[in-house]
Amino acid sequence: MLDSPRDEPAVVIEFEWWWLLAAWPAPFLVRWLTPPVARRRRAALRAPFLDDFAPAGVAEGRRWLRRWPLWLALLAWTALVLAASRPQWLGDPVSLPVSGRDLMLAVDLSGSMEVEDFRLDGKVANRLAATKAIAGDFVQRREGDRIGLILFGRNAYLQTPLTFDRTTVNQLLMESVIGLAGQETAIGDAIGLAVKHLRDNDVETRVLVLVTDGANTAGSVSPLRAAGLAATAGLKIYTIGIGAEEMRVDSLFGAQRINPSRDLDEETLIGIARATGGRYFRARDTAELARIYSLLDELEPVAQAPVHFRPRTALFMWPLGAALLAAAVLVVALPRARPGA
C-alpha cells in the first residue's frame, strides 16, 4: 500500500517471491556436481549410415536438432521457476478513502428478537429481520470505516473482526439467526468484547453501536461496569432499544393489546450511553430504526491523509500452463526421439 501516488513503482510487473528466481541454475549445478551416468557399451560392429558421411556443418546442425528435448525441458523449468516466484501485474493507482473511524456493530440474537412487532415492506417481520434490513444498509454506507460485527445472546462472539470488507460483514449479519448465541442476553459481555478489540487501535474515533430488545440476563460483566471500561478505553457507545410499545394479540378472551417491550431495560441502556459520551435511541418501528441509523451516519469522522494502493492481478497461471504444456510434449514425444523408438 502506498502513501501517495509519487511512491508508485515504475514497473508494472513484480515478483512477490522474487528470491525463488535463484533456483533457476539448480539443473546446471546438479549436472556440474554429479558424476556422469555410465553409457551403455555399444556393439563392436557398427553399420554405416548416411549421416556418417554427411558434411561437417550438416552433421553438427542435426546434432543440435537432436537436442531439442533438452531445450524444451529447460524452457519448462524456466517457466516453472517464474510461476513459483508469483508474478503479479500492478494496476493503476486507486485512492482508498479513510476516515480513521473504527466501528463495531453488536446485535442481540436472544429469543425475544423473534417477536413480530415490526413491518418490513408492508409485511409483518420480527425484530431481527428489521435490524438486518436497516443495519445492513448502514454497513454498506460505511465507506472508509473499518467495521466489525459482534453477535450476542447468552454469550458474545466476534463474528467479524475490524475490516474494510463491508460486503462480508453484511453477509455474515444476514446469515445470523435467533438463538445462535443462546436465548438470554449478555449485554455486558458484548461491550467487554468490543472494548477488547477496539482499545488498542491507533485511531481517534472508536464507536460501538449496540442493538438489543431486552435487559442483561446473562454474562459475567454487568453492563454499567463494562461501560466504565469502555469510557476508559475511549470507546463511545450508541445504544438502540428495539421493539414496539403496543401490539395486538388474539387470545381465548378476544383481541388484547400488550406491550411487547416491557422487558426492555431503557435505564441501563441510557446509563451505558451517558457513561461513554454516546446516545440512546428508541426504535419502535422500522421508520424510527432507519432514522436512527441516518443520525449515526452524521458521526464526524477524523480526517486522515488519503491512502493509495495498486490492485494486483496474479499471473502465475500463464508460466505454469506453459511449463505443463512443455512437460506434456516431452512425455509424448521423448520416447519417439530415442534411438530404437
pLDDT tens, residue by residue, 203-220: 667 889 999 888 888 888
Helix ranges (H only) for 66-106 are 68-84
Q: Given this model, what pLDDT does residue 276 score?
A: 92
**With pLDDT > 90 as the criterion, what percentage of the chain qualifies?**
18
pLDDT tops 60 at residue 311: yes
Q: Given this model, what pLDDT does residue 49 score?
A: 47
Strands (E), the chain: 13-15, 87-90, 94-96, 101-108, 118-120, 123-125, 146-152, 156-163, 205-212, 235-242, 247-251, 254-258, 280-283, 307-309, 312-314
Q: Which residues pair with 156 in a beta bridge?
A: 152
Highest mean pLDDT among 8-12, 28-32, 86-90 belongs to 86-90
Which is nearest to 263 in space by CA: 287, 242, 292?
A: 242
Q: How far is CA 210 from the centre of its chain?
A: 23
- Please, what's the b/e burial string for 103-134 (b: 16 or more CB within 10 A of its CB; e: otherwise)? bbbbbbbbbbbbbebbeeeeeebbbbbbbbbb
Q: Given this model, what pLDDT does residue 299 score?
A: 63
pLDDT tens, residue by residue, 81-109: 999 999 998 877 776 655 667 889 999 99
Q: Show the cell assigned to 205.
A: 474515533
Q: Given this model, what pLDDT does residue 303 score?
A: 47
**What is the end-to-end Cα distance of the chain in Å, rounded?**
57
